[in-house]
Structure 1
Amino acid sequence: MKKENNKSSNRFSINSWETFDDTWPYEPHFNKAAGFGMHYVDEGDGEIILALHGEPTWGYLFRHLIGSLSTKYRVVVPDHMGFGKSETPQDRSYLLQDHINNLEKFVLDLNLKDITLVMHDFGGPVGMGLAIRHPDRIKRIVSVNGPTPLAQPNLGQALNKNGATSPWFSWIFKAYENGTLEQVLSQLDYNILSTLKLNGFENNDLITDTWLNAYGAHFKSREYTLGAIGWAKGFAEGAHQFEPTTSSTAEKISKKPTMAIWGMADKTLQANYFIPLFQEAFPNGEIHTLNGVGHYSLEDAPEEIASLIEVFLEKS
């Protein structure tokens, strides 16, 4: 194992036992298989549900889902490197392939099998990267406003069209060009709400000091924002690379039980582009659309989403 130097020393921005006024009552666990302290929760017993967050959230996004499903299933929710209660090493890349590598090492170290993936935002391509590398470990796939790249012929065209009309991606490219992207995202402890709003957060009734603290706590200074900056900057530079796959692997994955749940008010990953991409990848997959629900659909409609996933698990 590569020895970590002082520059990449272990860094946490949230106390590992912080519960945010009991809205996050889950015991913290840490895994170092990927060379840093990856925080995760591991609740319940039974078939494994692996829930993967995106930008700029963390496992807190799944807090209601954990409570609902852990009575029947084992729910494992890691925080990606540089997010939530995971460490933010200072000498690492935060591109898609690195997150896939981290997740793969985490899953293999815990020997997780018969996994139901539940993926939101960039958790989608990270989870699909794991599925492509280890299709035999994946039992079901659930996309909740999360892309599912699987060698679709129209993938590139759809991504370009979405990026041209998405407020979030439009801002990324503009801010990168004028040199303000890192400056803005390095202050996420202050502007976390405006970032969530730009992405299409809809449920204003949730906004409390506790909720804002939960989502902004990791980003208390610039050194802790490398994950959020790296993900956005990777888009601006075209540096993220989807996991390559063969036609036989893609066909094997496409036959697994799959479901997409999409908040139709999502401004970041617009339904008119991403639902057809899901259908291309999974012709037999279920699709459920939620009107008035935005990009952070697990915040806007947590009970409805938990119910849809539970029914899907029981019948598949």
Structure 2
Amino acid sequence: VDFLGLKDITLVVHDWGGAIGMGLAVRKPKLIKRLVLFNTASFLSSDIPLRIGLCRIPLLGTIAIRYLNLFVKGVLRFGLKRRKRMAANIRAGYLAPYDSFENRIANLKFVQDIPMEPSVPSYSVMQYIEDNLKQFNGLPTLIIWGSEDFCFNIKFLNKWRELFPAAKVHEVRNAGHLVVEDASDEIIPWIEEFLKKNSFF
């Protein structure tokens, strides 16, 4: 961000991008002008799907994630609700970065670093982010949420509603974690309308 000289940022986040993006936002709040949130979290939670929890078990996680690539394959399998099969080229794009044992190390480390308890290194970071989120309550905020997400369930959406009560919320029925893949035809007009209505140029 500093290198590119970015300012007047519309921050769009999804999944772990919520922690990464809002981590930037709380450090450089004056740069952020609008928020678009898809199924994500930037706060602590005790909720974790069983299949992800199992991947945190040391040996089992290594086998499942690094040898079998089940983490990414699982997201592609369970993250969609409306489309039974993702287009082959899009699926290939999701899988491409994780095409070997070596290239799946980040997935394993990510799962191990989910802040479920204070001993996890990211726990204090997530706590800091959560403690500083309400400063963005006055920003134009759009929340688009797949209602059948196996990971970020309705409890996470309710937390965002609590943090940003003035946000415009679209709860997308019969859409999963990969809500943009499930409902792009609906989502694109919502984003265009949001950006036009909240233009600062």
- TM-score using structure 2 length: 0.85
Q: 1:193 to 1:308 in 2, by over 3 A?
A: same
How far does residue 207 in structure 1 lie from its aligned partner after superposition? 2.6
1:286–1:227 CA distance, 2 compared to 1 (3 A): same
Runs of 4+, deviation exceeding 6 Å: none
Aligned 8 A contact 1:266 1:293 in 2: yes
Displacement, 1:178? 6.4
Q: Percent identity?
A: 29
| In 2: Cα distance, 1:235 partner to 1:191 partner | 14
Structure 2 unaligned blocks of 5 or more: none
- The one of 267, 270, 273 equivalent to 2:153 is 270
| Alignment partner, residue 3 of structure 2 | 109
| Larger proportion of helix | 2
Are 1:137 and 2:31 an aligned pair? yes
> Which runs of no fewer than 5 residues in structure 1 stay unpaired?
1-106, 150-155
Match of 1:231 in 2: 110
Partner residue in 1 for 2:135: 252
**Partner deviation per Cα, 1:292-311 (whole Å, 9 max, x = no partner):** 01010011011211111111
CA gap 1:188/1:137 in 2 versus in 1, 3 angstroms:
farther
1:147 deviates by 1.7
In structure 2, how many angstroms separate the alpha carbons of the residues matched to 1:207 and 1:246? 34
Query: CA 1:148–1:307 in 2, change beyond 3 Å: closer, same or farther?
Result: farther
Partner in structure 2 of residue 293 of structure 1: 175
Deviation at 1:177, TM superposition (A): 3.0
Partner-residue secondary structure (3-state), 1:226: helix
Identify if the C-alpha distance between structure 1 residues 293 and 177 changes in structure 2 by more than 3 Å, giving closer, same or farther. same
Cα shift readout 1:46-88 (whole Å, capped 9, x = no counterpart): xxxxxxxxxxxxxxxxxxxxxxxxxxxxxxxxxxxxxxxxxxx
Contact 2:22-2:129 at 8 Å conserved across structures: no
Aligned partner letter, 2:34:
R
- Cα RMSD between the aligned structures? 2.4
State TM-score, norm by structure 1: 0.56
**Does residue 125 of the first structure (1) align with residue 24 of the second (2)?**
no
1:175: Cα distance to partner?
3.6
In structure 2, the residue matched to 1:20 is none
Q: CA deviation at 1:229?
A: 1.0
Which of 54, 57, 60 is residue 174 of structure 1 equivalent to? 54
1:261 positional shift: 0.6
Higher RCO structure (Cα 8 Å, ≥6 apart): 2
